[in-house]
Structure formats: C-alpha cells, structure tokens
Structure 1
Amino acid sequence: MNIAPLDPPARLLMGPGPISAYPSVLRAMSSPLIGQYDPFMTATMTETQELYRQVWATSNDATLLIDGTSRAGIEAAIVSLVKPGDRVLVPVFGRFGHLLAEIAERALAEVHTIEVEWGQVVPVSAIEEAIVRVKPHLLALVQGDTSTTMNQPLDEVGELCAKHGVLFYTDATASLGGNEFDADAWGIDAATAGLQKCLGGPSGSAPITLSDRAVEVIRSRKRIEAGIREEGDESSPDFIRSNYFDLGMILDYWGPRRLNHHTEATSMLYAARECARVMLTEGRSAVIDRHRVAGAAMLAGVEGLGLTVFGDVAHKMNNVVAVEIPEGLPGDEARGALLEDFGIEIGTSFGPLHGRVWRIGTMGANARKDTVLTTLAALEAVLRRYGVSVPAGGGVEAAADVFAASSVREAM
C-alpha cells in the first residue's frame, strides 16, 4: 500500500488551547523509549516530580503526573477525594465549572453550585456564604476558565476553606504557567493542570499536586488489591470505583515502592519534564510576566482595531482574551478565512457566548511579540475583507507600544 507519511499543515495556534508547543518539547518526545523500571526512567519520574514542585510553588511530596489529558487529572482528583454522599460545592463562572460539577455528580456526590454571570468572577464573600450554608466536604473551583477568559482569585479561598474544615481543589488547566499560582501560600489541597496551555506542550499529561491533608483523605479510602475482594467492597461508599484514576494506587506507583499500576506514558513524561525545564530555565516569574505582557499587548491590539472586549478585564487571564464579533460579521466564516489564508487559528466559543465572541490566546511559545503582531495584522486584513471598518495598523501599533514599554524579553 502506498500511504503517505503524516504531514500536518503549518499552523500558528493563537486560540485558547491547544497551542503551538515549544520546539524542545517536540524534540524531547522523540527521545528513545525505555522500560518503565529502567533506572533512567524512574530517575526521570523523580526528577519531574521535583520540577513540578517548583512549577506549582509547593513542597508537596505528592506531586506527579496523571497519564491523560487535563480532564483525566480533574477526574482523578475528584473521584479519589470524594465518596458517594459527600457534599461538593462548585462556584461556576463558565463552562468548566459546570464540568467540575458534572464529574462530582458522576462520583455520586451531593453537588451544590453557585453561579455568576459569564464574564465575571465569584466574590469571595459569596463563596464563604455558600460554604457556611452547604458545609461541603470539598470546594472545587476553576482558576482560569477559557470559556469566559476570567481568572478567579484564589489567594483568600484556601484560608477560608481551612477555617471551615473544607478541602480545596482547583483546576488550573488553563492558567498554570502563565498566571500567578502559589499552591502552598494559598492553602490549596489539590490542583491539576494540563500541558497544552501556558506550559507549552501537547495535551496528554496532567500535572497534579496534593497536600498531606488530601493524601490522608485518599489513603483513607477503601483499597482493593488486585484479585482480592471482600464481601461488601463494591457497595462500600469508601470504595474508589475507578482503577485508572485511583490516586492511592497512582501514588504508590510514583512513590518509593514503585508498585505497578500502569505503564507510564514515556513520551508524555519526556514532554512534561521539558515543559517544566523550559519554564524554570527561563525563570518562573519571568515566564508569567512574559504571558502578562503578551496578553496586555493582544488586549491593546484588539481594542486598537475597535473591537469590544468581553468580560471584566480586571479579572482577565493573562493568556487569553475574548472579543465581541462585530455585528453582521459571520464569525465562523471569518475564523475560517484566518486559518485558510494565514494559517492562524483563533477560538470560537461555548454556551451563552456561542457565536458572540472569538477567543484569542497568547500562551506558551506563542506568548511573544512576533506572534501577537502577526495575528493582529492578519485579523485586520480579514476584518477589512468582510467590510468591517478598522483603523489602519491600529492593532499592531497599539500592541507594539505595549511591548516597547515593557522590559520583558520579546523572545525566549
């Protein structure tokens, strides 16, 4: 059979994720495979754990990777921390809050939600009121929700949870690496992320960190050794019904005992290690600041084109902005033209924002000057083609001014 080799088109991924990976991450993924108990393999796992402690800003021993997309990390955290009947409180300010609630419901939790209008964040006072009223076992809260581009403040929430004896889990998939995140300082018990956003890698590995308190809860859940069951195991509320996402078993695999659970996804381990290495080599604060500047430049650029920004800009993530699609403009068609003619992808939207906004990302390897200016120039050309009146060069000039005023390096 004459089957052509795989040849993906060249793309500049400027949407809300996935993004264009750092070249060194792609190179790392092509490294040779080795056995899962090869000394190099286990040493790399241990090294990667230490790197991600620095990424998360934590001393948690239980810092590791879940083999799977960022959603795998979310599910592992929730099904391992929550047993049937536990109360879970989910503040919702976008699509991914609804996802946390759904996963908790599938874990047979008693789920309570509080919601705010998309484009806003949840006030800490509202979270405290709900905690006092619901008395949850777990608070599950998204940090950065790409569906709305909002960045939920977390710095006061951990103290609030500790005060009321509540476990605090956060989904940092879209925010880790491009926005401030301090697991220990903020009192976070469990946090998960993915590589495909600010960390600059492919989807397929989910970094997770767990406090000692969270590990104690996980260890208290009923364990079943392979092939050894006792009567009533399956009906016990303490029985973790997922094998793959049983964090107690995964902790044993990553811990000093190295008890076999699954075969580690070697190439994704290499990718995750390289994502962390890139960040820490450049400097954790420097990478976050680079995302801040690139995001501010993109924000200024779309406003320079006369576009309206969606949501509370004061609480926008550094790494993604949502802009209102000009009235009468076929949004999906214009996105298609941007992709076909310029090879640039920006994002569509979900739920109540479907057809209303585009989402433009500046993250990972693409949080830099040339990608921002290229995207704005191409967007201006597409808008003009569809009859939208925009200031000539307005987007590029506004963004360039932001970069000129910043001391952050323009490229890695």
Structure 2
Amino acid sequence: MFDIQRYPQINPPQRLLMGPGPINADPRALRAMASPLIGQYDPAMTGYMNEVMALWREIFRTQNRWTMLVDGTSRAGIEAILLSAIRPGDRVLVPVFGRFGHLLCEIARRCRAEVRSIDVPWGEVFSPQQIEDAIKRVRPRLLLTVHGDTSTTLLQPLDELGDICRRYGVLFYTDATASLGGNELDTDGWGLDAVSAGLQKCLGGPSGSSPVTLSPRMEEVIRRRRRVEQGIRNDSHYDGDDEIIYSNYFDLGMIMDYWGPERLNHHTEATSMLFAARECARIILEEGLDNTLARHALHGRALAAGIQGMGLDTFGSPAHRMSNVLGVVIPAQVHGEAVRQRLLEDFHIEIGTSFGPLQGKIWRIGTMGYNARKDCVLQTLAALEAVLNRLGLKTVQGAAMQAAWDIYDSAGR
C-alpha cells in the first residue's frame, strides 16, 4: 500500500537568497499568484493580458506593440525569439564575455544558424568598436548579445550598438534576464529589435514567465516566416525549408495571434504566472522605474563597500559592474564552498559560487528585486564576516558594516 505519510505537505526552509538569482519573490507577487483561476478567454483574463502588455512596455521602455509573455523560464523567451527569427543557414554573431554568451551560441546552433563568436576574457566586456569590426568582418544577419552576465557579474554596454546594427542591416537582440529592472535598459532608445527577460532577478518575482518585446522590424521578420508556413499547410508553392519555424510552442507568430485581438488558440496561458508578471511590473512602476534602478545601484554600492571594508577584493571592472550582482574574489585562506555551506546552515543565507574559468575563484552576491534592501545587505555582510573569522580569516570586526553604513548615510538612507 502506498504510504502517503512519507510525502508531507511541502514546507521549504526559510532562506535569504543573496546569490545571482533566483531571489526571494516579493510577497505581493506571491499573493497575486494565489488569485482564483479564470478561463483563458474570459473577458477579465484577456483584459489582464492587455494590461500586462501595457505595463511591460513601460519596463522595457518601448512603444512596441508586441510586448508580452512567453510561458516558461527566461530561457523560454530566449528560445522563442531565436527560433522565430533565425532561419537555417543565417549567420549570427555572438560576443561572448561569460557563460550566457555560450548559451546563445548553443541555442543558435540548434536553430541551424551559422554561428560566429568573438571572445574576451571573463572579467572584461566589449567596446562598440570591437563589435562593429566583427560585424564588418562576419556580416551577420543577427547580433545576439547578453546585457548582464551573472557568471562574470559584468554589464555589456549596448547603447551604441543599435546604430551600428542599423548601418549594416543587422537585427539586434539582447538577453536581459539578469539586468532588466536593476540596470538601465532603453529598448527604443538603443535600437533593440528584441529583448527577453525573466522575473526571478531584479524584477522581484518567481521563475516561470519570460517577458519579451519585439520591434516592428522583428515582427515583420517573424510574420514573413509565419506566412510561408501557412502556405505550406495550404499546399501552395514552396521551394525550401528556410522559412519553417521548427517549434510550435515557441512560434512567436502564433503567440502574437494569441495575445492579439484575434485571440487565436495556441496554448493555455499560465494564469498564475501572468498574475505574478503583472504584479511585478505594477510594483516597479508604483515605485517608479528610475527609483527602482537607483535602489539597486545604492544597495549594490553598499554591498561593494562592505566587502572591501572587510578586506576582500571585488571582481571585474568597476566601470562595467552590474548594479545587482557583485563578484567577490575568494581569499586564499578559506575554502569557498565551506563558507557558503556555513552561511546556509547557520544563517540561512545563500550566496552563489561560479563556474567555467571562475569556478572556485569568486562568490557572486546578489542585491536585487525584493532583496535590494538595506537589511538584506547588512545581514549578509555581518554573517559573511562572522563566518570568515570563524574559519580563520581575521578581519577588522565591524569594518564591513561601517563601510556599508557610510554609503547609506551619504544617501540619506
């Protein structure tokens, strides 16, 4: 007989998630998820979908009509855009400065693209000139970028790349999963053709919904493929497979038809996640997007000052550091995983490790979304200092806290 008592009600331990994401979701987003379910064509539901589109246009800083959600984690948004935009044989250029540039290369290859990449050492970013030189050399159809790469904690400047892409007729995409809501991103002002994100970092929600926005130029590219595929189904003239979108679920043309006034059936919308995405955007706009960006910058500065105050080094160029994730060089005197384990077990605080060439070399500490707060920063600094001293790395007691307080005091906080 099956013993159901072996499977009690889920009761996860309380954690303060101060890693590179996910973070503790804002309680208001979690409450929104607990709202009653309604049918996908209920007028209330389609009204909420329209509200989501309007709210997220403000977050992305765009007038794009097609600003909506792709159901799934942030990677779902990436795959939907790349699968819908890339034709087999298309040449794409990927500037790689961390783990998630390699991810874009992998997904593009699965889309049957001809992938060309350029690389800098982890800890650096690209200059606009380096990317323009590569575009002139490679002549890609698409430029695929990562805005903020949490593996290196650095932010790639994008503001000059839109003009470069326009000069050479290149479609411009960025993965803003780790940056949107905590770092400046101006979709229209920077000339981005497509952007995707996820709720679980600066946006203050749970993982499971990917906001995306598409420019009119990107919409036309996707719609053109959509029309050709419809022609195949109608047995009209067709002489190749370069226009087939090799996914039904991630076909953005079909998703646009679902989110648009036609409301053509495509999938059953993830209602509870839509409620969460709506509330995440609403919370940010209630605070004011500029204020949200400033909040992330303040708490990021306070964390960095505290880390340096206890004598630790930060990783990467300060000029290109993300506001919401800090790389901390692991001191030679301690074992990085032992520190993380003690923080989790004794303080219920999670910080991140790293991978690739940075494996075992840095911790990644996040101050983002709902956790971009003074109490979270001070609690993490105090706990980290205590653990380091317990494991044999002596610091000046209280120096980290004083350095962080100095930042807050200077900001009137």
TM-score, length of structure 1 as denominator length = 0.97
Aligned to 1:62: 66
CA gap 1:337/1:87 in 2 versus in 1, 3 angstroms? same
Displacement after TM superposition at 1:163 (Å): 1.1
CA distance in 2, matches of 1:173, 1:137: 23
User: What is the percent sequence identity of the aligned residues?
Assistant: 61
Q: Which amino acid aligns with 1:151?
A: L
CA gap 1:8/1:226 in 2 versus in 1, 3 angstroms? farther
Deviations 1:357-377 (A, max 9, x none): 000000001111110000000
Q: Verify the 8 A CA contact 2:125 2:320 in the aligned structure 1.
A: yes
The answer to whether residue 320 in structure 2 is matched with residue 315 in structure 1 is yes
Displacement after TM superposition at 1:5 (Å): 1.2
Displacement after TM superposition at 1:231 (Å): 8.4
Q: Which amino acid aligns with 2:209?
A: S
CA distance in 1, matches of 2:110, 2:10: 38
Aligned to 1:390: 395
The answer to whether residue 336 in structure 2 is matched with residue 331 in structure 1 is yes
CA distance in 2, matches of 1:386, 1:233: 68
Deviations 1:128-185 (A, max 9, x none): 0000111110000000000000001111011110111100000000000000011000
Q: Which amino acid aligns with 1:104?
A: A
**Residue range with higher mean Cα deviation, 191-200 or 225-234:** 225-234
Q: Which amino acid aligns with 1:283?
A: G
Q: Which amino acid aligns with 1:207?
A: P
Deviations 1:290-341 (A, max 9, x none): 0000000001111111111111111000001001111041111210110010
Equivalence map 1:263-302=2 (5 Å)? 263-302=268-307
Q: Verify the 8 A CA contact 1:233 1:239 in the aligned structure 2.
A: no
CA distance in 1, matches of 2:260, 2:368: 32
Displacement after TM superposition at 1:228 (Å): 3.6
Aligned to 1:376: 381
**1:25 counterpart (14, 29, 39):** 29
CA distance in 2, matches of 1:34, 1:299: 45
Aligned to 1:127: 131
CA distance in 2, matches of 1:194, 1:355: 27
**Residue range with higher mean Cα deviation, 329-338 or 13-22:** 329-338
Deviations 1:5-39 (A, max 9, x none): 11010000000000001110010000000100001
Q: Verify the 8 A CA contact 1:178 1:318 in the aligned structure 2.
A: yes
Displacement after TM superposition at 1:193 (Å): 0.3
**2:83 counterpart (79, 86, 96):** 79
Q: Which amino acid aligns with 1:391?
A: V
The Cα RMSD (Å) is 1.5
CA distance in 1, matches of 2:301, 2:335: 26
The answer to whether residue 398 in structure 2 is matched with residue 406 in structure 1 is no
Aligned to 1:118: 122
CA gap 1:234/1:297 in 2 versus in 1, 3 angstroms? farther
Displacement after TM superposition at 1:350 (Å): 1.1
CA distance in 2, matches of 1:124, 1:93: 14
Equivalence map 1:225-240=2 (5 Å)? 228=233, 230=235, 236-240=241-245
Q: Verify the 8 A CA contact 1:89 1:138 in the aligned structure 2.
A: yes
Q: Which amino acid aligns with 1:341?
A: D
TM-score, length of structure 2 as denominator length = 0.97
1:169 aligned counterpart, secondary structure: strand
Q: Verify the 8 A CA contact 1:83 1:238 in the aligned structure 2.
A: yes
Aligned to 1:37: 41
CA gap 1:404/1:254 in 2 versus in 1, 3 angstroms? same
How many pairs were matched up? 408
The answer to whether residue 178 in structure 2 is matched with residue 177 in structure 1 is no
Displacement after TM superposition at 1:222 (Å): 4.3
Displacement after TM superposition at 1:121 (Å): 0.7
Q: Which amino acid aligns with 1:253?
A: Y
CA distance in 1, matches of 2:376, 2:11: 23
**2:103 counterpart (99, 122, 127):** 99
Aligned to 2:254: 249
Displacement after TM superposition at 1:394 (Å): 1.1
Displacement after TM superposition at 1:225 (Å): 5.3
**1:190 counterpart (183, 190, 194):** 194
CA distance in 2, matches of 1:335, 1:399: 21
Q: Verify the 8 A CA contact 1:145 1:174 in the aligned structure 2.
A: yes
* 4+ residue runs over 3 A deviation: 222-235
Deviations 1:235-271 (A, max 9, x none): 5111000111101000100011010110000000000
The answer to whether residue 371 in structure 2 is matched with residue 366 in structure 1 is yes
Aligned to 1:13: 17
Q: Verify the 8 A CA contact 2:202 2:324 in the aligned structure 1.
A: yes
Q: Verify the 8 A CA contact 2:176 2:195 in the aligned structure 1.
A: yes
CA distance in 2, matches of 1:45, 1:231: 34
1:221 aligned counterpart, secondary structure: helix
Displacement after TM superposition at 1:226 (Å): 12
CA gap 1:119/1:226 in 2 versus in 1, 3 angstroms? same
2:39 aligned counterpart, secondary structure: coil
Gaps of 5+ in 1: none
Displacement after TM superposition at 1:229 (Å): 6.0
Q: Which amino acid aligns with 2:365?
A: I
Displacement after TM superposition at 1:404 (Å): 1.0
Gaps of 5+ in 2: none
